């Protein structure tokens, strides 16, 4: 019986495989083998024993089913693993797990999972950035209404809107790079982290294991790798997911019937929007992203709680992290993939963008008029008050702003009708938005180290 939606509805195979039972076993076997090789390198165990352990510490020889059988008896997952390896190694089995404690294996294996997960997330981000750059380039000059407080503000371009998303994702890419050496860290320092179980060779054994596995070293562990590292990982992934929710929310808003400026792709031949309202075309992917991002964020607090343990450790973090870490990674990957799908196939309705601009009756150009009047010598505050009064009265009278301005003597003394027409053309008031799109794409190309367009 399947209960968790990750098992039957959400998530992609590659990321799920990273946090699968099978890969968890495989990574822990890799750590046990690396430990044996390190012991052999410093002369603690025979080289031949390390070779046997390395050969046998593989999923082909240590079966997941056998580990579970032993755990059912021992009630201890790592001891079950150790016993399962040992029984495959003959006399060399007595050297398995020498000097180590459970979390030397568990936390170091988790670091291998984190590394693989972060590789996937970084690829996801790169793919999304490339998709958004193409969209921004196509619409660098596509003029639309900018909105603040849910109200018309001034003109912008759709490409510039997307450029803001690109730069945000590039910051997340930097966060992943900065996070990697802090999150991908293991330990091989025994009970409570003093290294006593490894004797005089402790520092060298730990160094050899982590170099072998390509991981950093927890400098002063308790019995665990510091859970601030895990909390940072979860928080960064929740930031990425929340950014995607921000973009998805904008798509959902702009797809509203009364706005209708963009729309998710919809297969009119097959796709169903509603079980009863046959005409519906809903932004379902964007809504899905919004819902999943809220789940990811919800895991930040329990992972923070996992930082607070008794003395050198307790077990209150373990059960929680078995939920937190796979769910956060799998859902973040799923969200990024869906966000890329939305942007890759997004329909942009330039005609409706212009319709909405025109429906503003010129009021979105109030700032442009204000600044034009100021350029003619009127004080900035005086210009603001003049335009404000004209705008308020025009709205009350049901008139357009341009009509009201042309009827105002104070305005027309400073601006000719031709000048006012030019000032109030929305396409003339998008600032350097198109150029900022170009700069954003250049930045993305530099960050990714490749030509995008």
State the virtual CA torsion across 85, 90, 95, 100 in degrees, nearest 10. 20
Residue 381 CA to residue 157 CA, distance in Å, equals 28
DSSP 370-385: HHHHHHTT--HHHHHH
Which residues face 148 on adjacent strands? Answer: 151
Number of C-beta neighbours around residue 43 at 10 A: 9
Cα–Cα distance for residue pair 436/449, rounded to 1 Å: 20
Instruction: Give the Cα separation of 130 and 281 in Å (integer).
Output: 27
The dihedral sign for the CA sequence 399, 405, 406, 410: positive
Q: Which residue has the tokens 């979860």?
A: 234
3-state secondary structure 292-335: HHHHHHHCHHHHHHCCCCCCCCCCHHHHHHHHHHHHHHHHHHHH
Cβ count near 246 (within 10 Å): 15
Active-site annotation, residues = 149, 274
**C-alpha–C-alpha distance, residues 217 and 186, integer Å:** 5
């Amino acid at each position: 019986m399947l209960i968790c939606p990750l098992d039957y509805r959400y998530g992609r195979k590659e990321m799920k495989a990273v946090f699968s039972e099978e890969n968890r076993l495989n990574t822990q076997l890799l750590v046990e083998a690396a430990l044996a090789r390190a012991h052999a390198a410093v002369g603690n165990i025979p080289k031949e024993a390390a070779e046997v352990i390395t050969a046998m510490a593989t999923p082909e020889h240590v079966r997941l089913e056998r580990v579970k059988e032993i755990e059912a008896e021992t009630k201890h997952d790592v001891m079950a693993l150790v016993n399962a390896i040992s029984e495959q190694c003959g006399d060399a089995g007595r050297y398995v797990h020498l000097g180590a404690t459970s979390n030397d294996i568990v936390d170091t294996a988790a670091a291998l999972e984190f590394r693989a997960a972060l590789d996937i997330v970084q690829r996801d981000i790169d793919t999304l950035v490339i998709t958004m750059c193409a969209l921004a380039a196509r619409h660098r000059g596509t003029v639309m209404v900018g909105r603040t407080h849910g109200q018309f503000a001034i003109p912008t371009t759709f490409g510039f809107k997307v450029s803001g998303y690109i730069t945000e994702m590039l910051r997340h890419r930097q966060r992943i790079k900065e996070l990697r050496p802090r999150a991908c860290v293991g330990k091989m320092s025994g009970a409570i982290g003093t290294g006593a179980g490894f004797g005089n060779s402790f520092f060298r054994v730990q160094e050899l294991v982590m170099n072998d596995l390509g991981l950093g070293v927890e400098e002063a562990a308790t019995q665990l790798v510091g859970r601030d590292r895990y909390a940072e990982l979860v928080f960064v992934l929740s930031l990425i997911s929340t950014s995607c929710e921000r973009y998805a929310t904008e798509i959902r808003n702009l797809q509203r019937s009364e706005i209708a400026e963009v729309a998710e792709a919809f297969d009119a031949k097959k796709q169903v929007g509603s079980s009863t309202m046959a005409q519906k075309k809903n932004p379902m992917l964007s809504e899905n992203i919004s819902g999943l991002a809220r789940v990811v964020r919800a895991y930040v607090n329990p992972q923070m709680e996992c930082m607070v343990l008794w003395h050198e450790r307790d077990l209150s973090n373990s059960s929680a992290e078995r939920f937190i870490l796979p769910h956060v990674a799998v859902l973040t990957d799923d969200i990024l993939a869906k966000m890329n799908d939305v942007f890759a196939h997004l329909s942009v309705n330039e005609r409706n963008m212009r319709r909405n601009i025109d429906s503003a009756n010129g009021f979105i150009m109030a700032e442009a008029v204000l600044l034009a009047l100021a350029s003619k010598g009127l004080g900035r505050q005086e210009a603001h008050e003049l335009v404000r009064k004209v705008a308020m009265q025009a709205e009350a009278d049901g008139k357009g702003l341009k009509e009201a301005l042309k009827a105002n003597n104070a305005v027309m003394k400073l601006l000719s009708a031709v000048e006012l027409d030019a000032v109030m053309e929305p396409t003339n008031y998008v600032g350097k938005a198109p150029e900022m799109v170009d700069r954003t794409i250049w930045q993305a190309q530099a960050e990714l180290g490749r030509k995008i367009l």
